[in-house]
Amino acid sequence: MIALKEFDRALGQVVKADSAIKKCILVDRTGLTIAHVSRYSASSVDVDGIGAIASAVFCASEEQGRNLDIGDLLMVSSEFDEGKIFAASCGRGVLCVITDPEVNIGLVRLVMKKATDDLKALLQEFLAEKPIEATAEESTSERAELEAALKELEKF
C-alpha cells in the first residue's frame, strides 16, 4: 500500500524546480484528479475541473494520434498570453504543469521527465484494481463511508 502523500511529495518537487512553475496536477485517464500542488496556497482555481479537462484533452489527443497512426503521445503543450500548460503521460496517469509564460521550456521538460518516471511506478500500484471484498477488513471505514453516502442519498 503506497502512502498517498508520496504523490504530494513528487508533485512538490516539480513545483519547487522553478519559480515559473505555478501549479502541478496529477490526473488519471478517467478525469480523476489524484493530487495537486500549488506554489501559492491562496490559489483558488477549480482544480477538479482543470484536472478533468487536462485528462480529457490529453486522452483526446492520444485518440487523435491513434486515428492517424502516429504512435504514442508523449507531451501536449498549450501556450497562452499569460501562461503555459504542459501535460505528459506518466503510465496510467497524466502529469499537468501550469507555468508562467516566460518559463524555461527545456527545464520544464526535464523536470517533467524525471517526475513522470517517479510517478509511473506509484500510479501503477495506486490505480491497480482492488476489489472491496478482498480488502474488507482493512476497509471498514470505506465501507462505512459508502453506507453513510447511501443514507444521505435517500434524504435529498
Partner 1 sequence: MAKIRKDSEGRLHFKLVYWGPSLGGKTTSLRYVYDDVEGLDKGGFTSIEDPSGRTLFFDFVPMSASGKILFDVYTVAGQTRHKHQRKVIMRGADGVLFVADSSRSMKQDNIESLQELKDIVGDVLGDQIPLVIALNKRDVDDAMSREEILKDLSLENSSIPVYETIAVKGIGVKRAFQTLSREVLLKQLYGIKTAH
For position 33 contacting partner 1 by CB under 8 A, the verdict is yes
d(CA 40, CA 49): 18
Are 117 and 144 contacting, i.e. CB atoms less than 8 angstroms apart? no
* Burial track 4-36 (b if 16+ CB lie within 10 A, e otherwise): eebbeebbeebbebbebbbbbbbbbbebebbbb
For the bound state, the minimum distance from the C-beta of residue 20 to partner 1, rounded and expressed in Å, comes to 24
Name which of 103 and 122 has its Cβ closer to partner 1: 122
For the bound state, the minimum distance from the C-beta of residue 97 to partner 1, rounded and expressed in Å, comes to 17
Task: Work out whether the CA dihedral 122, 123, 126, 131 comes out positive or negative.
Answer: negative
Name which of 110 and 148 has its Cβ closer to partner 1: 148
* Burial track 62-92 (b if 16+ CB lie within 10 A, e otherwise): beeeeeeeeeebebbeeeeeebbbbbbbbbe
Of residues 35-94, which lie at the interface with partner 1 (CB under 8 A)?
35, 46, 48-49, 52-53, 56, 59-60, 63-64, 67
Among 16, 78, 125, 130, binds partner 1 (CB under 8 A): 130
Name which of 33 and 103 has its Cβ closer to partner 1: 33
Beta bridge partners of 25: 36, 96
- From 72-80, 96-104, 108-116, 139-147, span contacting partner 1 (CB under 8 A): 139-147
Give the binding site for partner 1 (CB under 8 A): 4-5, 7-8, 28-35, 46, 48-49, 52-53, 56, 59-60, 63-64, 67, 126-127, 129-133, 142-143, 145-156
